[in-house]
Chain A
């Protein structure tokens, strides 16, 4: 999807093509919105983050650099950072119901994704469960260190070191 579809749409968006932008929205907004909703929990805040992200995407389409990642990665990063800003601005306190929210060891639909995706999964699998869980709670659910402390019932220092070491191991594994 990425190379054939999103990149040309983004290029055309950069030159002011509203149809291309509409198509880009149509294809990517469910993914971006889901990411925002997962982090922010509240639909009205997810609406706001998604709106802000697409306004920014329209204005900044020409700044995208292919060498720095896929179009989708670029777009998802924009909405994630906006969600983090909104959390701070609205002082969102993040709660995750761990019972209801069984964190999947692997995405259910893993087979649909690329070699990079599989590599990431393998590398995530190699982490200790606590490291993996802490990273997922922070990244996917948008939890702060303190909120991860609350959810995993371990001291702050431990949580920080799980995340830090988990990320180090992940990088080592991913760059092999």
Chain B
């Protein structure tokens, strides 16, 4: 087969880029790209043409272990940049961070479980709606000066051996701070920690955790991000 006919290699390049060229044909095409600049260029052009289709895919923050593993594999693991959000603070060891946030998380989980006596009817000042990847709302979070109320919608399908944990993501890119475990039915009322009222909040995040919450003090697998709006 003469691959150097433009129409032919162009069609192959397109199928290579969309991913339907598989198996041996895919490997053969990779060799052709290495041999012929025109075929390589045609492939790059298709990559540019089609890349926009990815914009229909909503971004998902990878779990922190992905970055940790990249650092480990590159031999950067003991570098100060191991926590990607902390490049400006080289003096702080990432392991200390984990320990600190772990401690904070433990304290805050405990706080979250105590329903304060006078939670009552202070006006709601901030809201967030946590939606799944199909934009179905799962939790509605309402924050007043003293309390944080979380209601669960019927779109949430609880999973066995899984808890969901709510996190505050600071705007300065510091490590997320746990707000405690989320209810999986009904609603939950808890004291609102002071840091929920700083201007330093980028968003709330929900992670998937083993029963009891994050074992490390960092989100295990971030599922959803929800902005917090003032009302």
Contact = CB atoms under 8 A, between A and B. Distances in A.
Contacts of A121: 52
Interface string B38-76: 000100100111111111111111110111011001101
A113 B52 contact: yes
A60 interface: no
A140 B57 contact: yes
Contacts of B28: none
B20 interface: yes
A51 B18 contact: no
A58 B48 contact: no
A110 B55 CA distance: 8
A163 B69 contact: no
Contacts of A26: 84-85, 173
Nearest to A114: B52
Given A73-B48, A138-B20, A163-B20, A18 B56 contact: no
A22 B62 contact: no
B171 interface: no
Nearest to A30: B59
B36 to A, nearest CB: 15
A34 to B, nearest CB: 4
A68 B41 contact: yes
Nearest to B74: A58
A37 interface: yes
Interface residue range, chain B: 35 or more
Contacts of B49: 120, 170-171, 174
A35 B52 contact: no
Given A29-B61, A33-B62, A104-B56, A167 B18 contact: yes
A142 B19 CA distance: 7
Nearest to B11: A164
A121 B85 CA distance: 34
Contacts of B57: 31, 34-35, 38, 140
A47 interface: yes
B107 interface: no
Interface of A: 18-19, 21-23, 25-26, 29-31, 33-35, 37-39, 43, 46-47, 50-51, 54-55, 58, 68-70, 72-74, 76-77, 80, 84, 88, 100, 102, 104, 106-110, 113, 116-117, 120-121, 124, 135-136, 138-140, 142, 144-145, 148, 163-164, 167-168, 170-171, 174
7 contacts: A43-B63, A58-B74, A74-B47, A120-B50, A138-B18, A139-B17, A164-B11
Given A109-B55, A120-B53, 14 more contacts: A30-B62, A33-B62, A35-B57, A55-B73, A69-B48, A70-B48, A107-B56, A140-B53, A142-B19, A145-B20, A163-B15, A164-B15, A170-B49, A171-B49
